Amino acid sequence: MLSVSQRVSEARVVVDGEVIGEIGPGLLVLVCAERGDTEVQADRLLAKLLKLRIFSDEAGKMNRSVQDIGGGLLLVSQFTLAADTAGGNRPSFTNAAAPEEGLRLYNYLVRQARAAHPVVQTGRFAADMKVSLVNDGPVTIPLQMR
């Protein structure tokens, strides 16, 4: 599974003019299931996201996790993270999981996140989403779980 995690002071997802997911301080996580991914990769990703120490402590060091600060998780599916541009200027997305498998793994990740963390919001799989955020830092961390 691929992800890009952004430390935010706020983030939201809008679909058809309606806010469907919104958090204050926390992590906006763009997520992509790749071909061959299973629940194992989703579990590893979630464990890393919840423990990733990228929030400031009292001394200003990145030493606290989203769990430590009681922050939100906004999980947004984004198959374009699997883009391969090696063959030219038009990206290929053949490394992304098939849509039904991507949806299944995204839903699994969301269920697991909601069971483990009190503030979890989402986008809408395969929807035309408008994502806005205030990147805090900026701090942006790519993760790849194999």
Longest dimension (CA), the chain: 47
Nearest Cα to Cα of residue 49 among 106, 4, 102, 10: 4
Residue 80 annotated as catalytic: yes
Nearest Cα to Cα of residue 13 among 77, 70, 102: 77
Radius of gyration of the chain, Cα coordinates, nearest whole angstrom: 15
Nearest Cα to Cα of residue 71 among 122, 132, 110, 25: 25
Q: In whole angstroms, give the CA distance from residue 50 to residue 62.
A: 14
Q: In whole angstroms, give the CA distance from residue 50 to residue 68.
A: 9
Residue 79 annotated as catalytic: yes
Residue 94 annotated as catalytic: no
Residue 39, classed as helix, strand or coil, is helix
Which one of the listed residues 6, 55, 79, 125 is annotated catalytic? 79
Which one of the listed residues 6, 41, 55, 78 is annotated catalytic? 78
Q: What positions carry a catalytic annotation?
A: 78-80
